[in-house]
Structure 1
Amino acid sequence: MRDEGSLKLVVAWLVAALRDRGPYPVLVVNGEQGTGKSVFTRNMRSLIDPSAAPIRAVPKDDRDLVVSAGNSWILAFDNLSSVPVWLADALCRLATGGGFATRMLHTDREESIFEASRPIILNGIPSLTDRADLADRAVCIHLAAIPEEERQPEDELAALFEQKRPLILGALLDAVSAALRNIAGVRLARSPRMADFVKWTTAAAPGLGWDDPEDFLSVYADNRRDVVDATFEADPVAVAVKDFILLVHPREGWNGTATELLALLNDRVTESVRRSKIWPMSAQALGNRIDRIAPLLRGKGFAIERRHSGVRTITIMPPSI
């Protein structure tokens, strides 16, 4: 781990994964080549949901994802270079609890329905939380680079892990016991995103030896802030809206239709951005995108409002001065 805060987030995720119901945050593990992301992910899953194939490649479609979720408690996907749109949407539904319906094989009318919530781990070198809805459900940690003089053969690490596994699992179950004992009396002063996860971790804190649960709340808030900042900077529409408002309408804000806003933003971005797949090509696409990035903009202090009285308009107000 890079720091003590990352360790607390990982422990909190493990304790949450031992709960019988979600929602569960998506654990996103980043790190450069050689930081042990695959071994880390394999060991995390092995603590709670041992499997002959603990880490897997990204599924091809919803059907494969549902099959994995139906046969596993923890879904651990290894070495991702990006998260496709369909997968991000599906993971969001799985993390917070949602239903999947698909046609049964070799039938025309029979439908198979799967509804559940699952703990999820994603790992990869690049940022995997470019989509705001996935970032909103994510806990992101960065693994530290391992110096060559400290690197160990994997078989030695595996032997050490097997030796320590009962102690680690016992400590986690102590935390679960504390959470079950205390959960009914926990009242959060504020309810952040994934409030159920925060409430469960707060209840488990005495079993983890965390004297002040506020320390975890501070770590979690800092992590969410970092994730939101990274997601914001990775979204060209969010950045373009921010720059447009702050540079052109820094006091009075802006109001108009999605068509007008798209024309104004198109004039302010480069041709390469306009031609990219992630740039909206129509007013409807921009309106949908505004809905997705609204939480990111609000996190930066902007006020977003969409009205549908006769003419559909968008109002964007700058942060209060």
Structure 2
Amino acid sequence: MQAATNLRPIAEVADKPEPSGFPKLIQALELFRDQQNQPCAVLKNDPKLDVFYIGTKPFKQLLEGLFYDEYGKLPTKAVLSDGVRLCELLSSREMTKRTVWKRFAHYNGEICIDTCDGHGSVIVVTGDGYSIRQACEMGVYFSRNENSCPLPTPITGGDYLSMFDAMNLKHKHDLILVATWPIVAAIQGIPKPPLMLYGPAGSTKSTMALMLKNLIAPDAQEGLKIKNNDAEMAQIIDKHDMPFFDNVTSVPQTIADLFCMAVTGGNFIKRKLFTDSDEVIFNLQKPMITTSLDIWTNAADLLDRCLFVELAPVGKASRRDRTSILTEYNDKQGLYLDGYLKVLAKTLQCYRTMPLDNLPRMADYYKWAYAATLALGFDENDFVEAYRQSRLKGQLHSLDQDGFGRIFVRFLDSIGPQEMSSTLFHTKFLEFAKKQGVSMDHLPKAANAFSKKIRHMSFALQPFGWSVAVRKGRDANMVCVNKI
């Protein structure tokens, strides 16, 4: 069949009388396709520039509202279906394409953060500071998720780093990783590592994750659950601006692969129905947070793309209930947001003048996080070391399929700095493991095999504060344990 040519403009098509009544109403809509060629619509003269994806439930509700306002009744299902199909057709004929953003936009060298306040207010951040403007003034199109909640109004005089005083971070390097992560989360079009917060019960993992998420991407759901179905997971990631998965245990390889896709950027495509060939495209490049008792995956490719921050249990003297922590946080959230936006503006300045060579994997994230570290006032080498230690934690876990590394770190914590023969060191380790209830099946049974395993993973012990070396002595091999 020959393709149609010389198509009529939307207004001309819409003027033709139809029994459904929708052609007239559609004149109130601007129809176009997004960067993934998905059909979209916005209400003309809408200052919010609120984008509706044609065919979705929110779009159908929009059409129902237009129909009701005009005719005083709801359209029948058949009439509504015809209206949706007509919009899909006209959006493809219009051939206009626009970039559609979700919560964050990197637009003309500026960062725009959608406040989701119902009025189209957008926080615009430049190297000189920030201001609040209207989406229509900026010409930036946002699609608002139904789960998204409004940001508070920034309150002048805020200090971003003071937000982390309530968080149970063990080292300065952990603070740098956690504090720079939300800064980079606002940068669009680059890979962003999932922030993996892990530690025992009572280490405030979930509360800390919620505070980070609510600072710039609050939504109606506090914590999400991992689904083992990749299509369900893709939909969950797509529907949240900053997905936060709470109490993760383990995931199948298909979900680990999906997380990798969400880091580097990619689209998950599935059919709308089994009976047709129409497709739904889910955008998966999102900043994500997970909490767990331990590192929850052994997938080497994903481990190499994550940030790892281990939290310690809060002592009884410092323990506070979750409600009081979040109440204080909510009272100061406007101040924290002001401080955050000022650091984000300074990060834009630092990024422009930042020379960096020998970049690691996740190079774009590394450069922006490095700039954010400088904007926060830390030394230029602080982030380099913090990121190196985080990657070593991932590498240790990748090597530690049998659980040896974790029990070995606990053993070092219990004995402190020592120097003794490898035979005695091995004996003490086995005694410790037995008292901890660890199965002996996967532990080295001979001192020489034990020494070999220590040498193999010694580099990965540094993030946990230990240096372990095996050297030849006069009569026997010696193991030297030092705190770093």
Shared topology, TM-score over 0.5? yes
- Segments of 5+ residues of structure 2 without an aligned counterpart are 1-168, 404-440, 443-455, 461-484
**CA-CA distance at 1:58 after TM superposition:** 0.7
Match of 1:122 in 2: 290
CA contact (8 A) 2:198 2:292 kept: yes
1:189 and 2:379 aligned: no
1:111 and 2:303 aligned: no
Q: Which amino acid aligns with 2:348?
A: L
Report Cα offsets for 1:81-122 as digits up to 9, x if no partner. Answer: 112211110000011101211111353322222334100111
Match of 1:53 in 2: 221
Of 217, 232, 249, the match for 2:399: 232
**Using the alignment, how far apart are the partners of 1:206 and 1:15 within structure 2?**
12
1:81 and 2:284 aligned: no
Q: Structure 1: which 4+ aligned runs deviate by more than 6 Å? A: none
**Using the alignment, how far apart are the partners of 1:176 and 1:55 within structure 2?**
26
Of 273, 290, 305, the match for 1:137: 305
CA contact (8 A) 2:215 2:337 kept: yes
CA contact (8 A) 1:66 1:114 kept: yes
Highest RCO, 1 vs 2 (Cα 8 Å, sep ≥ 6): 1
1:18 and 2:186 aligned: yes
**CA-CA distance at 1:9 after TM superposition:** 0.4
Match of 2:152 in 1: none
**Using the alignment, how far apart are the partners of 1:152 and 1:159 within structure 2?**
12
Q: Which amino acid aligns with 1:40?
A: M
**Using the alignment, how far apart are the partners of 1:159 and 1:113 within structure 2?**
38
SS of equivalent residue, structure 1 residue 177: helix
**Using the alignment, how far apart are the partners of 2:280 and 2:328 within structure 1?**
43
CA contact (8 A) 2:190 2:264 kept: yes
Moved more, 170-179 or 128-137: 170-179
How many residue pairs get matched?
241
Moved more, 84-93 or 180-189: 180-189
Match of 2:195 in 1: 27
Of 220, 231, 256, the match for 2:387: 220
- CA distance 1:151–1:165, change in 2 (3 Å): same
Pick the structure with greater CA Rg: 2
Q: Which amino acid aligns with 1:159?
A: T
Q: Which amino acid aligns with 2:316?
A: E
Moved more, 60-69 or 151-160: 60-69
Report Cα offsets for 1:47-91 as digits up to 9, x if no partner. Answer: 121011121111242222222222211111010111221111000
Report Cα offsets for 1:263-291 as digits up to 9, x if no partner. Answer: xxxxxxxxx99xxxxxxxxxxxxxxxxxx
**CA-CA distance at 1:180 after TM superposition:** 2.0
1:176 and 2:344 aligned: yes
Match of 2:325 in 1: 157
CA contact (8 A) 1:73 1:118 kept: yes
**Using the alignment, how far apart are the partners of 1:213 and 1:105 within structure 2?**
52
CA contact (8 A) 2:263 2:286 kept: yes
Match of 1:276 in 2: none
SS of equivalent residue, structure 1 residue 141: strand
Of 38, 46, 60, the match for 2:206: 38
CA contact (8 A) 2:350 2:375 kept: no
Q: Which amino acid aligns with 2:385?
A: S
SS of equivalent residue, structure 1 residue 32: coil
CA contact (8 A) 1:174 1:207 kept: no
**Using the alignment, how far apart are the partners of 1:163 and 1:174 within structure 2?**
19
Moved more, 72-81 or 53-62: 53-62
**Using the alignment, how far apart are the partners of 2:312 and 2:182 within structure 1?**
20
**Using the alignment, how far apart are the partners of 1:43 and 1:86 within structure 2?**
29
